[in-house]
Structure 1
Amino acid sequence: MSANSHGSVPHYFVPEPSRHPAMAALGLFFVILGASQWVNDSSWGQYSLLLGMAILLTVLYQWFGDAIHESETGVYGDNIDASFRWSMSWFIFSEVMFFAAFFGALWWARAHSVPNLGEADNFALLWPDFKAIWPSVAEGVTASPAQTIEPFVTMSPLWLPTINTALLLSSGVTITIAHHALRESDRSKTILFMWMTVLLGACFLVLQGYEYHHAYAELNLKLSSGIFGSTFFMLTGFHGFHVFLGTLMLLIITLRLQKGHFTAEKHFGFEGVAWYWHFVDVVWLGLYVLVYWL
């Protein structure tokens, strides 16, 4: 439905009544219910979680399919394009705040919490031989007051994290080349460099999985390894999840390009994913310096 149309493109677009929001809410209900029961050792929780994820993924597939169909049939005008741009901008801003909270937790632990525990006023409350140093790696010294945390080794920036940094920076270059090629209507070049970007994102995920195996099996570094382990895995884990989502988005955009979607003038779906991918790159650079090097 449209009003104030300019030629064949509507000034604004009102979608038909949809079941998608209600079904998405239903899926999220089962996800949260199942997750909460699963962590409390209820055997049926995992099945509720899987049911909710199945509902949610089905809804997203259908909902995005409807949006793609609407875009390709030309019912989205300039105002809709602007609303999409603002929506993606605010979404990325919320993601910036999300990671800022975890970076803030890491900074607070290193700059305030651990040093304050080493002050004279708090020293008597702690165990003998406490040393307020970062990272907390020594059993009975800073890692655990009662030796409840096993000794571990911190993750070195060489070489896996550095290789992953090179992969993400390279993917930022390839997606930029693809964007310029799309603006020049060179579809074959766009598709080639988009597949390269997808491959680089997938390689990052494979190497991070290997890094986690190395951390657990050889370094004894786990989520339970004190404040260092918890902040390390929360930051790198959530970033890896964002890389996974970004790689999935890139894959979908690439498949759409192969189907002939997007033009040199109208391609915000491509641009939105590119914005997100550059955000993922920037977050990793901060993470690489603050978590691995400092």
Structure 2
Amino acid sequence: MTSPDAPPSFEMERIKQEIADSFDEELEMEIDESRLEAMLGELAEHPEQEQLDRRLYFRELFRLQHELVRLQDWVQHSGLKVLVIFEGRDSAGKGGVIKRITQRLNPRVCRVVALPAPNERERTQWYFQRYTAHLPAAGEIVLFDRSWYNRAGVERVMGFCTEDEVEEFFRSVPAFERMLVRSGIILLKYWFSITDDEQQFRFNMRIHDPLKQWKLSPMDVESRRRWEDYTRAKEAMLERTHIEEAPWWIVEAVDKKRARLNCIAHLLGRIPYDEAPRPSVVLPARVRHDDYIRHPVPREMYVPEIY
């Protein structure tokens, strides 16, 4: 028997459609990745790997994203300051996991920082200065898509800084990060690890897809040739900057789906959170006035309905 308070069936159908629409962005990204791999199957031999079941992936992703919303509410309620650093080789999947983290969060609470190369003025500043302006305030989550660790990676490998500057960086980072943690910032650092063959495959995907070519800069292309130099730089970075107050966490990222789920689950596990209190929301009755007249909008102002 239908409850008298139950919405009409057409409203239930509309609610289902709205919920389904909210999942479409993730589905679109998934279709895009599948299209790429199918398109380039003959151009590059993809290393064999056991694929994560799609239903399991989506189920776990949506569950974790629900927890991220709870974390966001708790961060805002408790005034926590959260800073997450994502590092790794080009095409390692940093952007993919950042998209899944921010996908359902409030951009006023959780924001992404992806700084370009420093300008002339910034090159004369204290090295960390341009990053400090983006540190989280109370109630904020900040995700760094690359960070001050550029100095230990691309800047060092490509010769954009001297070895003395690199050494000064390694001396400064532990003190700088300990200071951030003492100030109350929760600092997490993730390194996304992929194999030589996997990067080769992903670069080929980008080269042959017009929708992805913008992701390949001349610096990215050069990084392929200098794989071993980047490996040595990464090893030195991890050795010199893995500290108790802000340790590095390695994400095995050859399988993109597993990497996303593992990283998000780990992030949630590193920050204690609870259910934030929420005031109940009641929609007020719409006020209507007898003298209100809605004026027509000229047809030429509308976007043509091609679809």
Classify the TM-score, shorter chain: under 0.3
Structure ranking higher in strand proportion: 2
Structure ranking higher in helix proportion: 1
Q: What TM-score do you get using the length of structure 2 for normalisation? A: 0.22
Question: Larger RCO: Structure 1 or Structure 2 (Cα < 8 Å, ≥ 6 residues apart)?
Answer: 2
